[in-house]
Structure 1
Amino acid sequence: MYEWSDTDLMFRDALRGFIDKEVRPHVDELESGALPPFDIIRKLYSTFGLADMAREGLEKSLARERGDAPSGEKSSAFSGAGSMGVVLNSELAGVSLGLVASLGVSLGLAAGTIRSRGTLAQKERWLPGLVTFETVGAWAITEPDSGSDAFGGMKSYVRRDGDDYILNGNKTFITNGPYADVMIVYAKLDEGDASVDRRDRKVLAFILDKGMEGLTQSPPFKKMGMNSSPTGELFFDNVRITKDRLLGETEDSGKSDGKSSAKESFAAERIGIASLSLGIINECHRLSIEYAKSRKLWGREIGQFQLIQLKLAEMEVARINVQNMVFNAIERTAAGDKVSLAEASAMKLYSSRAATEVAMEAVQLFGGNGYMAEYRVEQLARDAKSLMIYAGSNEIQVTHIAKGLLG
């Protein structure tokens, strides 16, 4: 059975010290949107040497791809799928979920898509800044009229213009969108053939940079939760895209297939939701136990009352279940055993629901205090709810799970 290693636990303890010093004092600023999360993330990278690890790992990976290094040499890249990455995500999620969302989208989705689908030239051009968080990435597929019908309902389109493409449309609910330096954007290829149903048209992926003519990044939205992560819209008005920005640089390589690329990212993102859920459950659990020991009614600690004990016990059951899901994903990733989209959807469905139930029960346990922002379980409840919608609503997860079961 998998357990946290001594190294994981040492990293966790050091990370908690960093969070207490550098994150908790700024939670109100982060939650109000007055303080974007990026400088705190960069300080985290600097403090723990994550930027150096990422840079070294990328250099080794690119050297192997160029044929300049032995194929068996392993890189030291810091991966969110490994145990230390899970520790990082879960510990941050319990204090400021938006920090992890901004980090995960930039590193996992934007950089991850270029890693898996980009050409060597594209990796050399965009990854050095992304993997070290010197530049911020966004991943843009959702549109106002698409939502869970991400491909069929997509209206953003590109048309060929010589060797270039012209992009029009808009994307919404884009994490890091207002501030992103690099954006992975998905769009339908419109060749002017009216006989081809819009829903069935090819989807291509492109790499855009901040400041391109015709690209507009909206200010951040105001949201219910996950407020430390800026979310916004992207607008495209005849954005000219050269072929070196087409993911894979050719439509025929398979790498530019937007649907296939996005589905890979969906699975990774949904597995990551389990780590975030675990962080929220752990923090709600910790705060609830502390409160149950300190709050007194009728001359007794409320932890002595059976209904309070029931709430704590059910939180512990949820914590164990979600942690076991996370452990399973760590083991399988390390073994090279790919987690299917259906399995990832099952992890996302269960863990996000568990985190939301635990957080709401924590609010109830705190009573009137739980409804006050001062006690933080209020924030955790709002953040947890976002996980039931983020990375695909829980309703669409049911569809993916059923498709996996029925074949």
Structure 2
Amino acid sequence: MSNAFSKIRNVIELFRAIDFDQLSEISKKVDLPKLMQGFSKLDDKQLGGLMKMLNPNTSKKELPPIDGDFYDVYHTLTPEQREIQLKVRDFMEKEVKPLVNHYWLRDEFPFELISKFQKLNICGVTYEGYGCPGMPFLMEGVIAMEMARIDASIATFFGVQSGLAMGSIYICGSEEQKQKWLPQMQKFEKIGAFGLTEPEVGSGAAGGLTVTCENTSEGWILNGQKKWIGNAPFADLTIIWARDVKDGEVKGFIVEKDNPGFSVEKIKGKMALRIVQNGLITLKDCLITEENCLQNANSFKDTAKVLRMTRAGVAWMATGCARGAYESALDYTRKRKQFGKPIASFQMIQGHLVEMLSNLTAMQTMVFRLSEMQDEGILKDEHASLAKVFCTLRTRDIVSRAREVLGGNGILLEYDVARFVADAEAIYSYEGTKEINSLIVGRSITGFSAFV
């Protein structure tokens, strides 16, 4: 008897969800007694489903926000720093994300973004003076992460400009050189590139550069080739590192794009960071005046100062790439339905997502501390190298799992994860391979150098 009363009560509740006008319209179209008889045969679950469908006030289940910062590591940012972070995020989501797949597929650079970058006023964020904001190194990392979260190519373009090129002048240039170039580069009025890697010399750059420089009565003469030089095909100036034929030491030079003896060929056919325009540079009796010789670059130790500063940024970039892949994958799994429900509700999918988040959280806490050490002035090569090794390795794992949970859609650009998968491979290799960075850390902890 109680079950019958329960059904009657549910039917009454069902019709309460329908107003009088609706009921009048229904009576013209259907046999209400027969309809009532049909309702009486429904169980409570079926009646509940009908009530949700008829009740316009029934709200959709509210899902938690998609946020890769699970441990809220950015809570220590000042209000000003947080404002910059969110400003960069907004810029990347509104200005970059809508067009990035188009340019990535075509192996082209979106030059229309440069004027928009000028308005952000974040280039050279850690430098003091010359129009630069002079903020902590932490902010350089946060900016790199926010950019790579949407696209690692744009983050790389920015890192070359703000870090490697400007950093070389800031660290190794004379005051006159800083005054001449840094304000223009900070405003993106001049675009820079950084020429260290060569066709046959990558990891062995410290002792094996084949590009030579020779000081003559007319100036410095440069000869040789550089390869994989980001921004080079359109840069206004390129920092070239060359070995002095007289003393064997590495020297640095500011080479302008119209300098005689300097030519660039764009590298084509890349599978990763396709928006980044990489160049093969040829230097043939390229004459550089003393004015454009970096006055404080006297050995590879000076080059290493620039690399130490930017290697931390690469770890942040890997973290951003991983975060973009994780958040894209999480969003997809909550929308994609199989067997009548979102695949995010399945145990194995949740297992992948938690593994991804675990690695991402470890990476974020690691790079956050890395930048704190940089701001405290205690960062060493081995600290940056360990972060580069760990973060790029974990990024590979995260993007792989993101690709897995997307199934076949994981290879389509429109879902973004395919781009993250490809770009993670480039981040894994540049600024020092896993092996070289591992040996830097290994030398530090054992006291023995395993370098050849």
What TM-score do the two structures reach when normalised by structure 2? 0.78
1:179-236 alpha-carbon deviations (Å, 9 max, x no partner): 1111111111113xxxxxxxx9221111111100010011243311111111111110
Aligned 8 A contact 1:110 1:183 in 2: yes
Q: Deviations over 1:38-80 (max 9, x none)?
A: 441431331x3447x97995348xxxxxxxxxxxxxx73356x
Residue of structure 2 equivalent to 1:247:
294
Unaligned runs of 5+ in 2: 1-72, 448-452
* 1:152 to 1:55, Cα distance in 2 relative to 1, 3 A: closer
Change over 3 Å in CA distance of 1:216–1:144 after alignment to 2? same
Match of 2:153 among 94, 98, 120: 98
Which one of the candidate residues 96, 104, 107 is aligned to 1:31?
Answer: 104
Seen in structure 2, the aligned counterparts of structure 1 residues 301 and 284 have a Cα distance that, compared at 3 Å, is: same
Residue 76 of structure 1 corresponds to 133
- Could you tell me how far apart the structure 2 residues matched to 1:56 and 1:389 are? 27
Q: 1:341 aligned to 2:388?
A: no
Decide whether the 8 Å contact of 1:274 with 1:325 is kept in 2. no
Work out which of the residue numbers 212, 229, 237 in structure 2 matches 1:174.
229
Tell whether 2:251 aligns with 1:204: yes
Residue 247 of structure 1 deviates from its aligned partner by: 1.1
Q: Note the 1:135-214 alignment, pairs <5 A.
A: 135-162=190-217, 164-191=219-246, 201-214=248-261
Aligned partners of 1:273 and 1:57: how far apart in 2? 22
Deviation at residue 174 of structure 1 after TM alignment: 0.4
Is 1:228–2:290 an aligned residue pair? no
Cα distance, 1:8 vs. partner? 3.7
Matched, 1:22 2:22: no
State yes or no: 1:352 paired with 2:392. Answer: yes
Match of 1:216 in 2: 263
Structure 1 residue 40 corresponds to structure 2 residue 113: yes
Q: Is residue 2:343 matched to residue 1:288?
A: no
Equivalence for 2:450: none
Contact kept, 8 Å, 2:138 with 2:368, in 1: the verdict is no
What is the match of residue 50 of structure 2? Answer: none
Over the matched positions of the two proteins, sequence identity in percent amounts to 28
The equivalent position to 2:364 in structure 1, one of 323, 333, 342, is 323
Letter in 2 for 1:229: V
Cα deviation code 1:376-395 (max 9, x no counterpart): 10001001111110111111
Partner AA of 1:371 in structure 2:
I
The AA in structure 2 aligned to 1:206 is F
Q: In structure 1, list runs of 5 or more residues that go unmatched.
A: 61-74, 192-199, 249-254
Structure 2 letter corresponding to 1:386: A
Q: Which residue of 1 aligns with 2:439?
A: 399
Work out whether residues 254 and 294 of structure 2, in 8 Å CA contact, stay in contact via their aligned partners in 1.
yes
Residue 75 of structure 2 corresponds to 3
Amino acid at match of 1:246: C
Please give the alpha-carbon distance, in whole angstroms, between the structure 2 residues aligned to 1:45 and 1:169: 34
The residue matched to 2:221 in structure 1 has which SS?
Answer: strand
Shift of 1:260: 1.0
Q: Which amino acid aligns with 1:19?
A: M
Contact map agreement 1:55 1:128 (CA 8 A) in 2: no
C-alpha deviations, 1:139-174, integer Å up to 9, x for none? 111111111111333211112222512111010000
**d(CA) in 1 for partners of 2:90 and 2:104?**
21
TM normalised by structure 1 equals 0.86
Q: Secondary structure at the match of 1:135?
A: coil
SS of structure 1 residue aligned to 2:181 = helix
Q: What is the Cα-based RMSD across aligned positions, in Å?
A: 2.3
Q: Check the 8 A contact 1:293/1:302 in 2, yes or no.
A: yes
Equivalent residue for 2:185, pick from 122, 130, 135: 130
Letter in 2 for 1:236: L
Residues 144 and 115 (structure 1 numbering): CA distance in 2 closer, same or farther, change over 3 Å?
same
State the 1:37 CA deviation.
4.1
In the TM superposition, residue 300 of structure 1 has moved relative to its aligned partner by 2.9
Structure 1 pair 41–57 and aligned structure 2 pair: CA distance change class (3 A): farther
SS of structure 2 residue aligned to 1:388: helix
Conservation of the 8 A alpha-carbon contact between 1:215 and 1:234: yes
Aligned residue type for 2:269: K
Secondary structure at the aligned position of 1:233 is classed as strand
The structure whose Rg is larger is 2
